[in-house]
Amino acid sequence: MKKFEIPQFYRSSFITRIKNARKDLDPRKKDFSPTKLDFGPVRFLLARHFGFCYGVENAIEIAYKTIEENPDKRIFLLSEMIHNPGVNLDLQKLGVKFLMDTTGNHLIDWNELTKEDIVIIPAFGTTLEIERKLNEVGIDPYRYNTTCPFVEKVWNRSEQLGKQNYTVIIHGKHYHEETRATFSHSKTSAPSVIVRDLNEAKILSSFILNERPAEDFYKLFTGKYSEGFDVEKDLERVGVVNQTTMLATETQEIADHLRNIMIKKYGEENLKDHFADTRDTLCYATNDNQESTYGLLQEKADFAIVVGGYNSSNTSHIVELCEEKLPTYFISSEEKIISSSHIKHFDIHSHQEKETFGFIPRKDKVDIILTSGASCPDAVVEAVLRKIHSFFDGAKDIDTLLNEILK
């Protein structure tokens, strides 16, 4: 896989060494057990896979090269480059301005742009409508395009489904930049509808089985279906794609459920005429990070620390998985760890930051799960580890231990 040139300050002094050592031992990625860093009074269980994925490193490399090569031009990002506050702030400090927020609300009007300006498309991609708008201004939307190749793979699969007369069902959050982009692309070639979760897929199934009046569909899925969608005809042949940062297991549950619904309505012998197998659209990085989280949760631990941007979808899903098993603290950086007894962390349910006191239990040996989302720099994870490590008197020196296990 390609190696990207990203700023050194995003890299860790030791995490890359750990990742490379695990890769050498397990090149086919069959072992999702954590790396165990035992410092005596504290032991960290580090996920097998975490941190910057291919798409994120690609986006960061393009963004920094664009800034370096165009010192005299105004540079804009459509919205956040990735869902990480530190990375976005770094770009803003270099003079990059955001045209929109993550929900699509304008921060800068289109009329303020000129054809001499540069607009970078973020890793989530963008809609065809925005591409047309940039072209009208005289800005090539493809010249500085950092859209993740795995997002583009979903778009290509959606187009294939449309050519085969399937309706595209998108598993995603309808307000998320990536899902808005995927929906924009898919609806040009196929009837399209967005489902948030298995529950919404079950509601959709009730229309497939004619268990609800068709007019209810348009109320229940307002803003989530393509123009001209005919609920009585457009659910006869379906294929499922996803927002690449959603839980892979949930996407598969939705696909399996709809497959069974089609068998129920049309018979297994006719399944291939009504349901398309689209498992090849799942993002490898999201899947690896989620499988690594399951591997972490096989171990006994006192609590979990998950590091990443609070609006990061893939990070939130890792938090969801950890919360099912043990106390979990979702933080954006080491600065949220105020002291050995005080932490500020994000609650994914209330969407607010909370404070917890006494988060590190008083015991002879504390076991801590540590992981991050795909848009979090390894340097931030290292800073979190070092800060927590500093709270334990008598803990083995970090660099000494790493030199022992990474000989």
Which residues are known to be catalytic? 178
3-state secondary structure of 223: coil
**H helix runs in 70-127, sequence order:** 85-93
Between CA 229 and CA 248 the distance in angstroms is: 27
Which of 149, 230, 151, 231 has the alpha carbon at shortest distance from 183? 151
Between CA 193 and CA 208 the distance in angstroms is: 13
DSSP class per residue in 236-286: SSEEEEE-TTS-HHHHHHHHHHHHHHHHHHH-GGGGGGTEE--GGGS-HHH
Between CA 223 and CA 234 the distance in angstroms is: 17
Between CA 271 and CA 266 the distance in angstroms is: 7
Residue 40: left if φ>0, alpha if ψ -120 to 50, beta else—which one? left
Q: What does R_g of the chain's alpha carbons equal in angstroms?
A: 23
Cβ-based burial of 395 (10 A; exposed 0-12, middle 13-18, buried ≥19):
middle
Between CA 98 and CA 91 the distance in angstroms is: 10
Q: Which DSSP state fits 314?
A: H
**Count of residues in the chain:** 407
| CA distances from residue 386 to 46, 126, 138, 285, 383 in whole angstroms, order as listed | 13, 38, 48, 26, 5
Between CA 83 and CA 3 the distance in angstroms is: 21
Strands of 42-46's sheet, edge to edge? 35-38, 42-46, 366-372, 303-307, 328-331
